[in-house]
Amino acid sequence: MTKGPVLVPVLGDQLSHGLSSLADRSPADTVVLMMEVWDETQYVRHHKAKIALIFSAMRHFAEELRERGFTVDYITLDDPANSGSFTGEVSAAVARHKARGVQISEPGEWRVRQMIDAWRESLDVRVRVLPDTRFVCPLPDFFEWAAGRKQWRMEYFYRDMRRKTGLLMDGDKPVGGKWNFDADNRGGPDADCRPPAVAQFKPDAITREVLDLVAARFPDHFGSLEDFAWPVTAAQAAQAFDRFLKTRLPLFGRYQDAMMAGADTMYHAVISPALNIGLIDPVEMCRLAETEWREGRAPIEAVEGFIRQVIGWREYVRGIYWLTMPDLAQANELDATRPLPEFWWTGETQMACIADCVRTTRKTAYAHHIQRLMVMGNFALLAGLSPQDVADWFLVVYADAFEWVELPNVAGMALFADGGKLASKPYAASGAYIDRMSNYCGQCAYDVKKKVGKNACPFNALYWDFLARNEDKLAGNPRLANPYATWRRMNADKQAEYCDSAAAFLQTLQPARKGWARVEVGGGPRIKSGATKHA
């Protein structure tokens, strides 16, 4: 009696040929299982373009695996027998192929890890979970780094990752004599700021089929498919990144914090969706960027800033996620409970900065990191929006958003909901910051120079009201010493004027209707072939 094959499930964010679960497998005795399942489209109601990106990339990756000789059992969303869940499809595939075992790379998200751990009880075969080797820092190494530290700070972790990879190192010292050139990367938009276009990819037959599927199955989900042009293969991701290196990296540092109305990508790489689903290797990207500096085509501040985002911040938030889950998902240190406003979904607001950020988000499932942090995140922080509502929104709307990277950035960095475990201070700012770093304010219905009152920029009063509201929890933060000193120098009438102006604005916020982000518990039917009902 011959032994059955090993079943290797490959998830939608594991589209790497060097994946640990595939590395030791021979096509002769392996079946790769890939699954488009209803539950994964509905645990939050993802942006249409995000679903299309992942499904298209999965289908292209399956074809590449077949070309390498692997048997791929691919379950499409509209397969009449589709159970709608990872667990259901893995169980069915084990029986269908008479598999002798299941081998899978560890998933990126907590909820999926709980699901996989349960397979050990529900399946009658061995389940082997391997580390995800696509990251620089294995999780046990991060846990060891974090153990015993009074504070976790990315800067010190980042230096260790530089030493480990050798990136931008001169022996045991950083090139240029500094670890961090961030002070050189804070320029606002000016006359020289003319961002070139990013690489775009015309949908092929596979992608067009997916776009039709998503349009039919998810008509009520947030977002548009009209401008879908994401890279969906490793070759396209490499082409997109090469265009960044040649056309935008030299000025990436100078303008990485700048915002311009209608300039949706600025000088950013826009590679994070491809990176987070596995189409491009993070260290290889960093080595290519380093080469641009070593060969004199890009300045050190641009290259160091890019590398810090990839092997510093990205690796750091992954470690923080796994170290603090599941508590992080419910963290709410500042007791923020205000529901998300409707204009976060519609973009219908007179605040030019938020309107533009929601526009590009709806159109492309992308906004760059300062739009996310210092416009959307900053507003959420100042207005006291519910961290869970805000995290759901970010997870829904961005093509690169998986919970391991999204939740620490939202709960920890943007909203300070974790009480400062991830970031040393709340990223709170008034309208002056947005005015300095963007051209939004010149075309806004609100006056950024006006501090209070009907036509004043809402960020101004909200900033001081946020500090007043949270003084008992934040006044001891050394990085907020100066703002609180300024607040205390104001007379009581001026303080009251700020708080009253903020309260008047907050009363105008219309809560978002239900159903944008999540279906009700027990909602979401598993759609079979030919069905038309949607959650």
Crossing angle of helices 154-165 and 315-324, in 10° steps, is 120
Q: Which amino acid is at 459?
A: F
Q: Is the pLDDT of residue 3 over 90?
A: no
Please give the helix or strand (H or E) that residue 513 lies within, else none.
none
> What distances in angstroms separate CA 208 from CA 212, 228, 287, 387, one per listed residue?
6, 10, 34, 36
Q: How confident is the model at residue 148 (pLDDT cuts 50, 70, 90)?
A: confident
Mean pLDDT of 351-379: 97
pLDDT digit string (tens) for 72-99?
A: 999 999 999 999 999 999 999 999 999 9
Q: What is the pLDDT at residue 2?
A: 56
Given this model, what pLDDT does residue 521 score?
41
Beta bridge partners of 447: 456
pLDDT at position 524:
39
pLDDT band, residue 514 (cuts 50/70/90): confident
Check residue 75 and report its DSSP letter. E
Does the pLDDT of residue 528 top 70, yes or no?
no
pLDDT over 80 at 194, yes or no: yes
Mean pLDDT of 426-438: 97
- Tens of pLDDT, residues 209-250: 999 999 999 999 999 999 999 999 999 999 999 999 999 999
d(CA 392, CA 518): 8
pLDDT value at residue 522? 39
CB contact burial 430-463 (16+ within 10 A = b; e otherwise)? bbebbbbbbbbbeebebebeebbeeebbbbbbbb
Mean pLDDT of 515-529: 53
What six digits make up the tokens of 288? 């290519």
pLDDT digits (tens, 9 = 90+) for 273-330: 999 999 999 999 999 999 999 999 999 999 999 999 999 999 999 999 999 999 999 9
Q: Taking 80 as the threshold, does the pLDDT of residue 533 lie above it?
A: no
- Whether 529 shows a pLDDT value over 70: the answer reads no
pLDDT for the residue 510: 96
Q: What mean pLDDT comes out for the span 258-266?
A: 95
Instruction: Please say if the pLDDT value at position 263 is more than 80.
Output: yes
Distance between alpha carbon 472 and the CA centroid of its chain, in Å? 31
pLDDT in tens, 444-489: 999 999 999 999 999 999 999 999 999 999 999 999 999 999 999 9
Average pLDDT over all residues of the chain: 94
- Asked if residues 39 and 82 have their Cβ atoms less than 8 Å apart, the reply is no
Question: How far apart are alpha carbons 71 and 62 in whole angstroms?
Answer: 9
* Residue found by looking up tokens 């982000």 in the block: 517
Q: Give the integer Cα–Cα distance in Å for 161 and 487.
A: 40
Q: Which of 309, 348, 193, 201 is nearest to 261 (CA)?
A: 193
Q: What is the 3 state secondary structure string of 161-230?
A: HHHHHCCCEECCEEHHHCCCCHHHCCCCCCCCCCCCCCCCCCCCHHHHHHHHHHHHHCCCCCCCCCCCCC
CA angle 401, 426, 50 (to 5 degrees): 10
Q: What's the pTM?
A: 0.95
pLDDT for position 516: 86
Predicted pLDDT at 519: 67
Mean pLDDT of 379-403: 98
The percentage of residues in the chain with a pLDDT greater than 70, rounded to a whole number, is 96
Which residues on adjacent β-strands are paired with residue 103?
Answer: 128
As a whole number of angstroms, the distance between CA 294 and CA 289 comes to 9
- Residue 357: band (very low, low, confident or very high) from pLDDT cuts 50, 70, 90: very high
CA pseudo-torsion sign 235, 240, 246, 251: negative
Beta partners for residue 126, in sequence order: 101
- In angstroms, the CA 22 to CA 103 distance is 9
pLDDT over threshold 90, residue 158: yes
pLDDT tens per residue, range 41-63: 999 999 999 999 999 999 999 99
The pLDDT of residue 172 is: 92
Helix (H) / strand (E) element for 73: namely strand 71-75
530 pLDDT more than 60: no
**pLDDT band for position 183 (cuts 50, 70, 90):** confident
